[in-house]
Amino acid sequence: MMNAIMGNALANVIPALLLDLHGNLLYANQPASAWLQIPEGEFHPPGNTNCLHFNEVIGRSSGLYWPMLCHLLKMGRPACVEKYDHHHRWTQWQLTPAADQFLLYGTDITGRKTVETGSVLHAFPLGLQHFSPEGIHRNANELQYDIWEAIDPGLTIPGYNLFEEPAFQETGLSDLFTTTLHTGEPASREVALGYREHAVNHVTRILPAYYEVTVFPVKDHIGTITELVMMMCDITEKQLSRMQLKKSARLLDLVIENLPIGYIQFDHFGFIRRINQTQRAFFQYDSNREDTPFNVVNDPFARLYGLDELFLHVMVHNKMLRVEKQLDFSKDSRWTAQNREVWLDLTLFPLRDPVDQEQIVVVLVNDITDKKLERQIRHLLQRNTEQLHLFFDAVDMGYATMERDGTLSFVNTKGEEMAGRRVLPGENIFSMLPELENASPFKTRFSAALADDISQSFSSYFPRRYKWYEFLITPMSDGTVSVFIRDITDSRNMQKDLFRANKQLNRLNRSLVNQNQQLEDFAHITSHNLRAPIANLKALMQMHSDSALLHEREQYLSLVREVIFKIDETLNDLVDVVQIRKDVDVEREELIFAERLQYVKDVLYVDIENSGILLTTNFEHAPSLEFPRPYLDSILQNLITNAIRYRTLEHKPRLHLKSWRENGYTMLTVEDNGLGIDMERFGHKLFGFRKTFHKNKDAKGIGLFITKTQIEAMGGSIRAESTPGQGTKFIITFKTE
C-alpha cells in the first residue's frame, strides 16, 4: 500500500516521507533517509515506542512543529518548513495530503539561501572580505571594494595573496591573519592603511587612513579553518580626533607653562603636582632640589596664613574661591627664596583629573604687591585734597566727594545741614540716605554719570523731608565723584501753587461744562423718554375705546392708570435731578439691575407685548450698580426701545442683558438679533445726535445719543458691535466709584 502511495516516480528521485495524521513516520525513501540521517523503508506502527515522529526528525531543529504545520495546511497557506542539515545544505520540506495520510517531500534551496546571505553581507555597513587560509582573496562586499579602491585596487584582484604584501607586514595587518590561524580565535587591531585626500574649504590635504580591522576564522564541523574573514571599519575621523585631542592637551600644557600669572596644581591630598615657569620664577624655585614634597595641609607656613583652610574649603564645597592674602616670606625660606612681604591675589578652583578621575585643586597666583602700594599712595593723595574741601564750606550749597560705590570722603557744612546730622568719612551715602537707593532718580543718574563719564544735572523731591533738591553729579579724573546739592523747595512750592490754581480753574471750568451738558441731557430725557410712555398711553386709550367688553375696558383703564403713575414718577425723578445744586454731581445710589429692568418693562408693556420680543438676563456676576437711577432707567429704556424698533420680521425678536465685573469696572452687554447696522459705513455716526440709519418712521435719532451722553457723564463708555442682518451688541463700561 505504501509503495503504491509513494509511486515509482518519487522512489529514489525526490526525498519523501509518508506520515500518518498524527505526524508519525510511516515510510522514508532513500534520498530522505540520507538527508535526514534516518533509516530507509517502513517504520513500526504508531503504537510502538520506537516509532519516529515529525517533531523529532524536523520540527525540533527547525522550530516549526507538527500542529502548526497542519494548521498552515488547513488555512490554505503553504505548509513548508526549512531545515539546515549536516551536509551544510538548506532543505525545504513541503507537506501535502495523500488520502488519509500526508506526504512530505524535500527540495534543496541552498543556492537561494546563499544568494540571500550574500545580499545581507553586501548590505552590511562594514567592509567584509573572504580569504583562504593561505591568504588568497576570494570575495568581498561592495564597501570593502570601495575601501581598497581608495588605497590599492590590486588587493581585490582574484588570486591576490595578502601574506606576500610587504606593506601589510609592516603595518601589522598580516600579523592579524597569522594570529588567527595560530590561535583559531578572532584578532583585532587599529591599522593605518595608506593615505587619502581630504578637502576642506577648497584646500586639499593628504591625511592617513585609519581602520579598525578584525579577522575571524570560519571552521568546518571538525574544527578545521576553511576560510578567513576580515572585517574593516573606517575610524579615520575618530583617530584624527584623538590625535587632535592629544595635540590640544599639549597646547594646553604650553599655555599653562607660559601663563603670565602663577599656576600651582595640588592633588587631593594637598601635595604640589605642578608649578608653571612664572610661579617658579616668583618663588625662585629650584625643581632639581630633592626636598620633602610641599603639602599645603601640613606645612606650618601655609597653616600660619590659612592656606590650608582655603584648600580644604575648595575641596569640600567644590566651589571656586578668590581671596587676597598678605604673606611674609621672610618667615619661611625652606621652599622659596623670596625674603619679603607680598600681597597675592589667589584664585582657587576644583577640577576633576581626566585620567584617574580624582579631584585636584588649581591655584592661580597673581602678585598684586605693586598695586597695593599704588593704592596706598593714592589714598595719601586723596587725604591731601581735604584741604581743598575747606573751600567748599564757604559755598552756599551742599557739596560731597565720594567713591564710585558711594563711600563718602568729604561733606561740607551745608551738605551736613541738608542731611540733618554729622557725616563721617567712610560712610556710604546710600546706607545713610536709603531714599537714594534702588530705582531712585539719584541712583539712576549716579549710575549714568559713572557709565558715560559725563556730568548729570537733575532735580528730585524727597517726601520724608518735604524738600526739593537740585543735584549736579560730576565724575572726577582721579576716580572719585563730586556731588553739588541746592535746596529749591521754595521755588518748587511757588510753581506747585501756581499749578494747583490752574488745575482748580480747569476743574471748575469742566464742572460748568458738565453741568450745562447735564441740563441739556435732562431736557432731551424729558422730551424723549416721555414719548414712549405717552405712545403707550394713547395705545391703551385706543384699545379701551375699541373694546366692547366691560372687563377688558376696566383692564385697559387699570393699565392706563399704571402708565400714568410711571410717567408721573419719571417726571418727578427728572425734576429732582435738575434741581440738584450746580456744584454737585448727579446723585448715585445702589441700583439692582433686575429691579430697574422690571420698572422699564412695566413702562414699555404695550410695546413689548405687541412686538413679542423675548427679554433674557444674566445679572449673576454683577447684580447691582452704583449709578444715578434716572440715567440707568433711561439707558435701559432706550436700548430696549431700540431693539423693538429695529427688529426683523424673519424671526422672533430677542434681547439678552448680561452684567459682570472686570478690572474694577462694571460691564453690561445688551445684545439683540435685529436688523443690525453696517459699522464700516455708519459706525462713527451711531451715537450721533438725531442720526438714523434705517427707514423707520418712528426713529428719532436721539435715544443712543442720550444714552452715550449719560454714560460718559458718569465716567463710563459705550461701544457697539454689529453685522447687518445678525443683530447688534452694545458693550457698556460703568465706572465704579
DSSP string for 479-517: S-EEEEEEE-HHHHHHHHHHHHHHHHHHHHHHHHHHHHH
DSSP 163: G
Q: Record the cell numbers describing residue 139, joined without a space.
A: 570575495
For the record, the C-alpha cell of 562 comes out as 399704571
- 101: CB partners within 8 A, 6+ apart: 5, 18, 19, 20, 21, 26
Give CA–CA dist 626/586, Å, rounded. Answer: 12
* Highest mean predicted confidence (pLDDT) among 281-285, 372-376, 472-476: 472-476
Per cent of the chain over pLDDT 70 is 82
Q: State yes or no: pLDDT of 536 exceeds 90.
A: no
Q: Give CA separation, 693 vs 555, 653, 677, 687, in Å.
A: 38, 19, 8, 11
Q: Would you say 156 and 145 are in contact if contact means Cβ atoms under 8 Å apart? A: yes
Q: Which residue stretches of 305-349 are H helix?
A: 307-317
Beta strands per DSSP E along 267-354: 272-275, 321-328, 341-352
Q: Is 271 helix (H, G, I), strand (E, B) or coil?
A: strand
* Residue-by-residue DSSP string for 649-693: SSS--EEEEEEEEETTEEEEEEEE-S----HHHHGGGTTSTT---
pLDDT tens digits, 169-206? 777 788 888 888 888 888 888 888 777 776 767 777 77
Interval 23-63: pLDDT, tens? 888 888 888 888 888 888 888 665 565 678 888 888 777 76
| Distance in angstroms between the alpha carbons of the first and the last residue of the chain | 114
At 49, which helix (H) or strand (E)? none
Residue 580 is predicted with a pLDDT of 37
Please, are residues 311 and 335 in contact by the beta-carbon 8 Å criterion?
A: no
Lowest pLDDT segment from 123-132, 238-247, 570-579, 662-671? 570-579
Radius of gyration of the chain (CA): 53
398-402 and 272-275 strand pairing: unpaired
Measuring CA to CA, how many Å separate 516 from each of 271, 346, 379, 577, 582?
95, 81, 73, 13, 9
In the block, residue with C-alpha cell 529514489: 12
For 4-13, 146-155, 482-491, which range has the lowest pLDDT when averaged over its residues?
4-13
At a CB cut-off of 8 Å and minimum separation 6, what does 275 contact?
262, 263, 264, 265, 283, 285, 287
Q: Which residue has the higher pLDDT, 325 or 82?
A: 325
Do 735 and 715 contact (CB within 8 A), yes or no? yes
Q: Are strands 654-662 and 614-618 parallel, antiparallel or unpaired?
A: parallel
- The dihedral sign for the CA sequence 294, 298, 303, 308: positive
φ, ψ of residue 184 to 5 degrees: the values are 75, 10
Position 538, amino acid: K
- Cell numbers for 417: 545741614
Ranges assigned E (strand) in 187-340: 187-200, 203-219, 225-234, 262-266, 272-275, 321-328
In Å, what is the CA distance from 475 to each residue of 405, 451, 472, 480? 12, 10, 10, 6
Closest CA to 323 of 365, 359, 362, 286: 365
Note the pLDDT tens digit of each residue in 392-448: 666 778 888 899 998 988 888 888 888 888 888 888 888 888 888 877 888 888 899
Model confidence at 115: pLDDT above 50: no
Residue type, 454: I
User: CA–CA separation, 182 vs 156, rounded Å?
Assistant: 25
Residue 364's beta-bridge partner residues?
Answer: 263, 347
Amino acid symbol at 678: D
pLDDT at residue 493 in the model = 82
Give just the sign of the alpha carbon dihedral 649, 650, 652, 654.
negative
Q: Please classify residue 709 by burial: count the beta carbons closer than 10 Å to its beta carbon, then call 0-12 exposed, 13-18 middle and 19+ buried.
A: buried
pLDDT of res. 621 = 93
Report the chain's mean pLDDT, rounded to a whole number.
80
* CB atoms inside a 10 Å sphere around CB 687: 20
Give residue 117's pLDDT band: very low, low, confident or very high (50, 70, 90).
Answer: very low
Q: Is the pLDDT of residue 332 over 50?
A: yes
Work out the average pLDDT over 86-110: 82
Integer Cα distance of 298 and 205 in angstroms: 55
CA neighbor of 644 nearest in space, from 675, 603, 598: 675
Whole-number pLDDT of residue 668: 95
Task: Extract the C-alpha cell encoding 73.
Answer: 495546511
Task: Quote the pLDDT of residue 45.
Answer: 64
pLDDT of 335: 67
Residue 114 predicted with pLDDT over 60:
no
Output the CA–CA distances (angstroms, integers) from residue 17 to 9, 54, 104, in the order listed: 14, 10, 5
pLDDT at 577: 45
Q: How far apart are CA 431 and CA 524, in angstroms?
A: 64
The pLDDT of residue 176 is 87
Closest CA to 360 of 447, 428, 264: 264
* pLDDT tens per residue, range 631-690: 899 899 989 998 898 888 888 999 999 999 998 899 999 999 988 887 887 766 677 544
Whether the CB-CB separation of 632 and 595 falls below 8 Å is answered with no
pLDDT digits (tens, 9 = 90+) for 471-524: 899 998 888 898 988 888 888 888 778 888 887 787 677 667 766 765 665 666
Rounded distance, CA 671 to CA 643, Å?
A: 9
**What does the alpha-carbon distance between residue 392 and residue 414 come to, in Å, rounded to a whole number?**
9
pLDDT digits (tens, 9 = 90+) for 296-325: 888 888 888 898 899 899 888 889 999 998
Residue 247's pLDDT is 79
Given this model, what pLDDT does residue 579 score?
45
pLDDT at 1: 46
